[in-house]
Structure 1
Amino acid sequence: MEHTPPGGAGDGAATGAGSGPLSIGGVLRVLREEFPEVTVSKIRFLETQGLVEPGRSPSGHRWFSGEDVERLRDVLRMQRDHYLPLRVIKEHLGSVAEGELPLPPTKAPQRSSPGTRRERPSDPPVRIGREQLLAAAGLTEPELMDCESHGLVSRYPDSSYDEAAVAVAGIVSELGRHGVPPRQLHAVKAAAEHQAGLLESAVASAEHPGDARTGGGAEPPGARLAALSGRLYEVFVQAALHVRPAEGPDAGNRPGE
């Protein structure tokens, strides 16, 4: 669905459905208020998955409406708060648009004033059954058994699965469609667990009473280090595959982008 913007794509802060068109750099600045780690590459990827359909200016630049920005927020919140695969998010948003389902509740923390500690959501952890996991991740029963046998996905004694299992299963399913079997992913989990040990040591150091980097309203250091570590791993893989990561808030403002 191609649109023609009513005016030039701006870089202002769009916060609602009535906002004017934005360039991809402007969208990035808006989204980073809530999602500091979002990148131009991420927005483009969501576009390739059909989760947002930006218009094009006569010169070929992407432009995003206020509705597009709100939809991107919804997608990112559902990933962050509910660990849902993109396929499931797309289907859910389609049902929301038809009025069949509401958006799931967001667990985004409220802005905290200086000197106050950001609290974790008090909601109980989400658990789902095996059939729900298979449906959410798009796996078959043999594929899920393969994931479990290689230690990629584990279940609780009551045979339920948590949000992390949903996220892992969804990614393994996507990789499988590209010819990467679960047995080749055990090393990735082992590397992640090793990295987690290093991050725990770094967090312990950062939380030392004399460390000036910690503060009452600051983001929990473990979450920040995990996000940075994940982004670093992503860039390393992109480099190894000779995929050039898009850098900077205005990386998508060239003609044709």
Structure 2
Amino acid sequence: MSEAGGERPFLSIGEVLDQLKVDFPDVTISKIRFLESQGLVDPERTPSGYRKFYEGDVARLRWILRQQREHFLPLKVIKDRLEREGEAALDDEMAPTPAPAPAPAAPAAAEPADAPAEEAVRTDRASSPTPRSDGQAAPGGGPDILLSGMSSATFTREELASASGCDEAALADLERYGLLVGKAVGGSSYFDEESLIVARLAAAFARHGVEARHLRMYKTAAEREAGFFQQVVLPGVKQRDPAGRRQSLEALADLVRLGEGLRGSILRQALRPYVDGA
């Protein structure tokens, strides 16, 4: 740590930012200050009020950012774990970094794994059963397809922006067009795991020049489809008999899978003239 700060055993907030940006390109000084304001890190201060970050502080920040990015944990859960486990939670961050092993030859069809938004897209694809050639949905999945498959985590606006790669202006656009809906609690808005999925996918769309206003068509189509499914299975879902309710939920999940397969097929057909002529 003395290399970045000369003879000093600590780093300034700017020097910490430079180190963190290697692994967390989206982190900002405002984010570090926000984490401090939430009690997740407590750097010492110089007599003139400047922050002093030591090795343990930097490791703590890395661990917090990794929990948000890789496990989608809200700050409250992260803070509770730090208070419960103390420095033991940071063991992986404090351990010396092993020398990198020679990289194996990449398979010819290897898929790049970089941005979190792509991971969300791949996860969504992997969780959707492939329709069979006879038009029936592949077995498996059950009513679980109606769930996000993630935790019941909640996110503040700042946490959602950090975890999704969307800046707050982009999140505001998604809210304006009804693609994100937060829950107001005590003057603050909180977002669920589906909001994280939407925000990460929107960030991926944005890299292709697709804006929030263009994504309204997906919301409109999904709401119409949901309304139709409600007419088909809602009476069964509302019944008190557990077995009957389970059967209705399974039917709803089957309809969702069938709808996904049909949409994909129709879209491929519509794009075929352009793809074949490329």
TM-score of the superposition, structure 1-length normalised?
0.44
Kindly name which structure, 1 or 2, has the bigger radius of gyration based on alpha carbons.
2
Task: Give TM-score scaled by structure 2 length.
Answer: 0.41
Which structure carries more relative contact order (alpha carbon 8 Å, separation 6+)?
Answer: 1
